[in-house]
């Protein structure tokens, strides 16, 4: 991670965390939901990553493309949220 990328994340850290928590609360009861993280997108801007259990998880239909002004993408993780 470059110094500039680190500055972008730090400068908007509280907004990112607030958006991440909000999206997690929105999706937490959906079947196949694993968790939410933050990453830098290809353009160097922060994005929210929604982790789902598998490609057929029902939660995929509920994941928005954008949340509170941030891009959202999904990632198949294969790990259950709760054991």
- What is the DSSP track for 45-83? -EEEEEEES-TT-GGGGG--SEETTEEEEEEE----S--
CA torsion, ordered 40, 42, 47, 49, to nearest 10 deg = -90
**Looking at the predicted structure, is the pLDDT value of residue 83 above 60?**
no
In the chain, the number of structural domains is: 1
Per the CB < 8 A criterion, the answer to whether 58 and 31 are in contact is yes
Angle at 64 between CA 81 and CA 31, to 5 degrees: 30
Q: Is 69 within the bounds of a domain?
A: yes
Predicted model pTM: 0.78
Burial of 37 (0-12, 13-18, 19+ CB in 10 A): middle
pLDDT of residue 28: 93
- 12 has pLDDT over 80: no
For 19-68, what is each residue's pLDDT tens digit? 999 999 999 999 999 999 988 888 888 899 999 998 999 999 999 999 99
Residue 45 within any structural domain of the chain? yes
Instruction: Identify the domain containing residue 53 by its residue range.
Output: 3-76
Please check whether residue 48 lies inside any domain of the structure.
Answer: yes
- Answer yes or no: is 57 within a domain: yes
> Is residue 83 assigned to a domain?
no
User: Is the confidence at residue 1, as pLDDT, over 60?
Assistant: no
Residue 14 pLDDT: 81
Q: Comparing 64 with 78, which gets the higher pLDDT?
A: 64
């Amino acid at each position: 991670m470059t110094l500039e990328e680190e500055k972008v994340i730090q400068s908007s850290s509280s907004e990112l965390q607030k958006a991440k928590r909000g999206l997690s609360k929105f999706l937490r009861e959906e079947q196949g939901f694993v968790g939410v993280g933050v990453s830098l997108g290809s353009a160097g801007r922060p994005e929210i990553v929604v982790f789902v259990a598998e490609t057929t998880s029902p939660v995929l239909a509920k994941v928005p493309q954008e949340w509170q002004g941030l891009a959202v993408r999904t990632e198949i993780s294969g790990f259950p949220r709760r054991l």
